[in-house]
């Protein structure tokens, strides 16, 4: 089990990175995918919305998957269910994304183990709280 200090240090390291992708970004202002996307943008992060359901989120081009992004993000913020997460983690590993930020309820033990096996570092926390 990682120490709390290590987790906090890793989260701080991730927050210093300025290119993020929000997987599960959406157009609904009361859903977390939208709130997280907007919060990161308001904090001057370069953030890409990823969701195959939408062409645009908040007037910005939305991408169907990580491979479609114009650049490889430093951090992926997961706002999708654990069952949809494995394909995202697999793609992230192939693209060389180093960090995954799991929002509450977006992971299970199996997905966390898979993420570790892919060589990716991750935190499990609410980014909305972290960037307040």
pLDDT, tens only, 36-55: 999 999 999 999 999 999 99
pLDDT of residue 2: 53
Burial of 124 (C-beta count, 10 Å sphere; 0-12/13-18/19+): middle
pLDDT of residue 132: 82
- Which residues lie across from 60 on neighbouring strands? 57
Q: What is the spatial distance between Cα 73 and Cα 83, in angstroms, rounded to a whole number? A: 22
Q: What is the spatial distance between Cα 38 and Cα 58, in angstroms, rounded to a whole number? A: 8
Whether 72 shows a pLDDT value over 90: the answer reads yes
**Cβ-based neighbour number of residue 96 at 10 Å:** 9
pLDDT of residue 3: 66
Burial of 43 (C-beta count, 10 Å sphere; 0-12/13-18/19+): middle
Q: Which are the contacts of 119, defined by CB distance < 8 A and separation ≥ 6? A: 93
Domain 4-130: what homologous superfamily?
Answer: NAD(P)-binding Rossmann-like Domain (3.40.50.720)
Number of C-alpha atoms within 13 angstroms, CB side, residue 102? Answer: 24
Region 4-30: what's the mean pLDDT? 94
Domain boundaries, the chain: 4-130
């Amino acid at each position: 089990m990682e120490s709390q200090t290590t987790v906090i240090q890793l989260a701080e390291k991730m927050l210093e990175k300025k290119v993020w992708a929000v997987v599960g970004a959406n157009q609904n202002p009361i859903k977390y995918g939208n709130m997280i996307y907007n919060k990161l943008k308001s904090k001057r992060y370069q953030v890409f919305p990823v969701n195959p359901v939408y062409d645009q989120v908040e007037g910005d081009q939305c991408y169907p998957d990580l491979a479609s992004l114009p650049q490889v993000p430093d951090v992926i913020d997961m706002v999708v269910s654990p069952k949809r997460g494995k394909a995202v983690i697999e793609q992230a590993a192939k693209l060389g994304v180093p960090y995954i930020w799991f929002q509450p309820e977006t992971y299970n033990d199996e997905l966390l183990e898979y993420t570790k096996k892919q060589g990716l570092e991750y935190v499990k926390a609410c980014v909305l709280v972290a960037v307040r």
